[in-house]
Structure 1
Amino acid sequence: MVLTAGAAAPSATAAPPSKKVSVERVPLADAAPEVPGKGREIRRSKPFAMAALRWNGKNPDLVEVQAQHLDGTWGEWLRLPAVDGQDRGRPGKNQASEAAWLGDSTAIRVRAESDGAPVDAKTVSVLLIDPGTAQAASTAAKPTAISRAEWGADESLRTQCFQQQGVGVEYGDTVKAAIVHHTAGSNDYTAADSARIVRGIYAYHASELQWCDIGYNVLVDKFGQVFEGRYGGLELPVWGAHAQGFNKDTVGVSMLGEFTSVAPSATQLESVAQVLAWKLAGNYRDPLGEVTMVSGYGGSSAKYPLGTAVTLPVIHGHRDVGYTECPGDLAYQELPALRQRVAELMGDWTAGAIYQKWQAAGADAGPLGGAYELEQDAADGGRQTAFARGAKSAYWSPATEASLIEGMIRDKWREHGAEAGALGYPRTDELSTPDGSGRYNHFAGADGSIYWTPWTGAHEIRGLIKAKWAQLGWENGPLGYPRTDELGTPDGVGRYNHFDRSNGSVYWTPGTGAHEIRGAIKDRWAQVGWERSYLGYPTSDEYAVPGGRRSDFQHGYVVWDAATGNVTDRPY
């Protein structure tokens, strides 16, 4: 029996598609009487281009839709599988079908059956999705992703849902595996339609299913166009909603179309391979290998109960972890060849210095954990990534070894331009200072370093000021740790760092070099006007004289009397 809902005959002229995504819910219980041989129909003057079903209770055995296009012809019946995306116990719903691409249409028929009989129409709603007008789309078959802004994501759908549910973008620890999907529905779409399809899926997943965003991390159409999916950054392990129990630490790549009776195009598969090569190489995963994943969902519809360890190919299909036909028989048959192609594209991905440092540290089981941020290019031919544990990043350049940097030292370094700034690349890991109180990294540029303690924070020091500090004994000397970065003097001539001990500083100019000044002598210099006073800049470190201490300046000197504590400044 055909279950359709609808009203009167079609109008002669349909209104044009809207520019904004909209979703209309039509309860089947509100359907007009059935027409023999045709069932019930939903008709609208405003076209829609996608459809999905929602229901209460168990999943129907059969869900199919047929759409009438703008020219009056009826398309083929399309089977809609149930979604298997969001993990149970998390916000959102799973009692729904996938959203099918129909093309611009004004009428739809629906079949929904369980145990050979129609489902109760009171438990079913039909979602008519207008994904808005088409946008110009790239024809490139490379994995340069069409961004969310470019395909027209209405970010208010995501942010409003997050606010209502009190949640936000979530991340896993790394990417351990890739799960290949298809979106189901029609394969009859143009390159310009693809952005509309993605917008429609996004609106359906985010608003109707309350997943707050599109479930897939990446989508690829039959023309090879790659679309950024779930918000949060393609370089990061964004927690998707595409495979119940296995959303964490996986990337979900979905091919637009249905591949039970039609195979994916070679162009589509090549783009999928390029996306996966990029993601897996950057996360240090063998595309020909296996991985053990642990199910994160234990509900009645789960293929694997909560906590079950499952060994899977690193690249596998949705059906391997869920009760679904996804990604379709003919796409699933392509997975062995896809793995081989990904391996070809990745080349010798184990040769990199950062990878080798990660392996030496124990790989996933070590203190770094997995790669949290995709390893990627950095300035001047370098490479960089971030790891899941300890908020550590690794940087490498042709002139430096792979080195780890983290926490407040990394923040300070990035404040100064990271590897493209004056400090350049780190040339040591973060290390402990000899006194055991601080931490530091040395850098390749400007003979620079960043030192951190709990009481001073992180500060950079470099060049001749750093050399003077080293000459005086580093942090164990009279100055202690830097408490400022290197700064410019108000007169624009000199540079200085202040330190946390003895009220000390080191001042430098091209004409005087670098000299330390501290204590009562520094206080007197400040009282008379610093470098803008008649004294000018220091030309010596503080040194001992009979009965006290002295520092020399460009145009005078300051003496401290040990017996009286008096400080005197005099011109030459």
Structure 2
Amino acid sequence: MRAFLASSIGVACAAAALVLPPLSGDARADDASLPGSTQSLPLVPLTAERAPGVPQQGLLRRDVRPFSLVGVVWDDPDDELHGTVQVRTRATSTGKWSGWQAVETHNHAHAADLGTPERESASVRGSTAPLWVGDSDGVEVRVRSEAPRAGGSVAPLPRGLRIELVDPGDDPPPGTGTPAPGPENPSTGTGTGTTPTTGTGTGSGADTNQDQTSGAALTPEEAASSAVNADLAVIGALEIPELTKEETEASLDYGAETDTEVVAKPYIGPRPRIVTRKGWGADEKLRERDFVYTKSVQAAFLHHSATGNNYSCAEAPSVLRSIYRYHVVSSGWRDIGYNFAVDKCGNIYEGRAGGVAKPVMGAHTLGFNSNSMGIAVLGTYSSSTPPAASVTAVARLTAWKLGLHGKDPRGKATLTSGGGNLYPKGTKVKLNVISGHRDGFSTDCPGDRLYGKLGTARASSAKYQGR
């Protein structure tokens, strides 16, 4: 599933102003017939003029094929990059170079649990967070080790450093039923949604390999990915429609009498609108074929994608396709790490394949991927305040998904650590049902500003559940 066509040549150091010829055979590129592509360029030693003796690697300015997202990877996923990563890129539209932008280096906290097949795969690499830079055709990168403290030694850089340049490919063809997401068409709305069909779908929806929104034949991979949501949307539909509270209650037969008791009304929020993987253009051939599930969903971990805030809501599907490709092709994961994503306009997206209503195991919070789900708000919220629409979408999503498993968003959940830098493997930890990534792993994620909104999300989620 993961095609790595690798070749490499030596890259000579040159003057900083030199622009190299267009990229040729020194990068790995995916099959050009697939939507999107990845260029993988090895980094080379650079002279550390500002801090002699401090290891530094990178690439000087060079022309490359178009890309929109960057990240740095290395050979051993257990190695940590103790240093800084900075990139500058040239916009395709203007030909102008950006200033230096920092890339978040502590991405190892987003990963499959230790000892799992996904983590132990030979293809898994260490990686930084990805950074969205928009349509670009030039790149420069520098990676510097941390300067030593008094009397200390310099931390070496990880082996096999490479920069990954990701082209997300094109959006799904127009006319298939999905207008570009945006403020006028948020996922939390009830009017002009992006699904041309209605209802929750039936078993018969899984018996056809045709996209009901366009009549196009689905590939086997697309059909399998859609089929796991067949109880929620017609196969091939690009968005799972939102149910009203009344529809939700009717579908669950609240208060129905049985031979022995009256079924109590569970606290489950209305199902929000969710853009499916087909809706945001996921290439199902990239991921591993099978799905992996845990027993239940006892907690939700909130993340920020750390990809920056320089994207429009119309670009959110491209950002998602880029993250997906970076997680699978560049980092070696089985699929995108997050179970769901939310953009700045409050649109909700299906993440890792396996069914939005099912307890799909993700790779979002190292040590606590079992019996949990991961929600990534697209953007960086260390110093930027997350939009209210994003926080509302998180509340609506958790009210529904946690409600399916009987969880109060204001309550606590006990999870068993799979091993991490806060809790040793096997430790039983009581966490908030809606937690931030940093609650399970020592990291800045989901950023101070987003973390500060967790109380609001918990209270709103509980209200959507009718508590």
2:87 corresponds to 1:65: yes
2:133 corresponds to 1:106: no
* Structure 2 residue aligned with 1:295: 417
Change (3 A) 1:102 1:19: farther
2:163 corresponds to 1:126: yes
* Structure 1 residue aligned with 2:98: 74
SS at match of 1:156: coil
* Structure 2 residue aligned with 1:54: 73
* Structure 2 residue aligned with 1:271: 393
Change (3 A) 1:332 1:146: same
Change (3 A) 1:170 1:122: closer
2:351 corresponds to 1:332: no
SS at match of 2:390: helix
- Supply the distance in 2 between the matched residues of 1:5 and 1:213 (Cα, whole angstroms): 40
**Is the CA contact 1:28–1:122 (under 8 Å) kept in the aligned structure 2?**
no
- Supply the distance in 2 between the matched residues of 1:5 and 1:144 (Cα, whole angstroms): 52
* Structure 1 residue aligned with 2:234: none
- How many percent of aligned residue pairs carry the same amino acid? 35
* Structure 1 residue aligned with 2:423: 304
Change (3 A) 1:36 1:262: same
* Structure 1 residue aligned with 2:226: none
* Structure 1 residue aligned with 2:324: 202
Change (3 A) 1:278 1:121: closer
* Structure 1 residue aligned with 2:462: 343
Question: What letter corresponds to residue 340 of structure 2 in structure 1?
Answer: V
- Deviation per CA, 1:203-245: give whole Å up to 9, x if none: 1112222211000000001011111100000000000000111
- Supply the distance in 1 between the matched residues of 2:323 and 2:15 (Cα, whole angstroms): 22
Using CA pairs below 8 Å that are at least 6 residues apart, which structure has the higher relative contact order? Answer: 2
Change (3 A) 1:121 1:288: closer
**TM-score (norm: length of structure 1):** 0.54
**Is the CA contact 2:63–2:139 (under 8 Å) kept in the aligned structure 1?**
no
Give the alignment of 1:31-50 within 5 angstroms.
40-50=59-69
**TM-score (norm: length of structure 2):** 0.65
* Structure 1 position 296, deviation (Å): 1.6
* Structure 1 position 19, deviation (Å): 7.8
Number of aligned pairs? 331
- Deviation per CA, 1:443-498: give whole Å up to 9, x if none: xxxxxxxxxxxxxxxxxxxxxxxxxxxxxxxxxxxxxxxxxxxxxxxxxxxxxxxx
Q: Greater strand share, 1 or 2? A: 1
* Structure 2 residue aligned with 1:355: none
- Supply the distance in 1 between the matched residues of 2:320 and 2:425 (Cα, whole angstroms): 31
- Supply the distance in 2 between the matched residues of 1:4 and 1:277 (Cα, whole angstroms): 56
**Is the CA contact 1:6–1:43 (under 8 Å) kept in the aligned structure 2?**
no
SS at match of 1:88: coil
- Deviation per CA, 1:369-422: give whole Å up to 9, x if none: xxxxxxxxxxxxxxxxxxxxxxxxxxxxxxxxxxxxxxxxxxxxxxxxxxxxxx
* Structure 1 residue aligned with 2:260: none
**Is the CA contact 2:70–2:130 (under 8 Å) kept in the aligned structure 1?**
yes
* Structure 1 position 68, deviation (Å): 2.5
Give the alignment of 1:247-286 within 5 angstroms.
247-286=369-408
Runs of 4+ in 1 over 3 A off after TM superposition: 3-8, 31-40, 117-123
Say which one has the larger Rg.
1
- Supply the distance in 1 between the matched residues of 2:396 and 2:292 (Cα, whole angstroms): 25
* Structure 1 position 283, deviation (Å): 1.2
SS at match of 1:192: helix
2:426 corresponds to 1:315: no
2:186 corresponds to 1:140: yes
Give the alignment of 1:447-526 within 5 angstroms.
none
* Structure 1 position 78, deviation (Å): 2.7
- Unaligned runs of 5+ residues in structure 1 are 163-167, 349-572
Change (3 A) 1:203 1:214: same
**Is the CA contact 2:90–2:137 (under 8 Å) kept in the aligned structure 1?**
yes
* Structure 1 position 67, deviation (Å): 2.4
Change (3 A) 1:108 1:258: same
Change (3 A) 1:5 1:204: farther
Change (3 A) 1:121 1:108: farther
**Is the CA contact 1:181–1:252 (under 8 Å) kept in the aligned structure 2?**
yes
* Structure 1 position 35, deviation (Å): 10
- Supply the distance in 1 between the matched residues of 2:102 and 2:374 (Cα, whole angstroms): 23
**Is the CA contact 2:88–2:97 (under 8 Å) kept in the aligned structure 1?**
no
2:19 corresponds to 1:9: yes
- Deviation per CA, 1:163-183: give whole Å up to 9, x if none: xxxxx3110111100000000
Give the alignment of 1:175-214 within 5 angstroms.
175-214=297-336
**Is the CA contact 1:25–1:128 (under 8 Å) kept in the aligned structure 2?**
yes
- Supply the distance in 1 between the matched residues of 2:62 and 2:180 (Cα, whole angstroms): 30
* Structure 1 residue aligned with 2:281: 152
* Structure 1 position 338, deviation (Å): 1.1
Change (3 A) 1:336 1:175: same
**Is the CA contact 2:103–2:130 (under 8 Å) kept in the aligned structure 1?**
no
2:357 corresponds to 1:239: no
* Structure 1 position 130, deviation (Å): 0.6
Change (3 A) 1:292 1:39: closer
- Supply the distance in 2 between the matched residues of 1:18 and 1:262 (Cα, whole angstroms): 38
**Is the CA contact 1:261–1:329 (under 8 Å) kept in the aligned structure 2?**
yes
**Is the CA contact 2:81–2:158 (under 8 Å) kept in the aligned structure 1?**
no
* Structure 1 residue aligned with 2:38: 23
Question: What letter corresponds to residue 137 of structure 1 in structure 2?
Answer: A
SS at match of 1:219: strand
SS at match of 1:283: coil
Which range moved further: 71-80 or 183-192?
A: 71-80
Change (3 A) 1:333 1:171: same
- Among candidates 286, 291, 294, match of residue 169 of structure 1: 291
SS at match of 1:155: coil
- Supply the distance in 2 between the matched residues of 1:234 and 1:269 (Cα, whole angstroms): 19
Question: What letter corresponds to residue 382 of structure 2 in structure 1?
Answer: T
- Supply the distance in 2 between the matched residues of 1:34 and 1:49 (Cα, whole angstroms): 28
**Is the CA contact 2:36–2:169 (under 8 Å) kept in the aligned structure 1?**
yes
SS at match of 1:157: coil
**Is the CA contact 2:103–2:128 (under 8 Å) kept in the aligned structure 1?**
no
* Structure 1 position 100, deviation (Å): 1.3
* Structure 1 position 47, deviation (Å): 1.3
**Is the CA contact 1:176–1:250 (under 8 Å) kept in the aligned structure 2?**
yes
* Structure 1 position 311, deviation (Å): 0.9
- Unaligned runs of 5+ residues in structure 2 are 1-12, 23-31, 52-56, 148-153, 173-178, 189-271
Change (3 A) 1:45 1:204: closer
* Structure 1 position 109, deviation (Å): 3.0
**Is the CA contact 1:68–1:108 (under 8 Å) kept in the aligned structure 2?**
yes
Give the alignment of 1:218-233 within 5 angstroms.
218-233=340-355
* Structure 1 position 191, deviation (Å): 1.6
**Is the CA contact 1:81–1:324 (under 8 Å) kept in the aligned structure 2?**
no
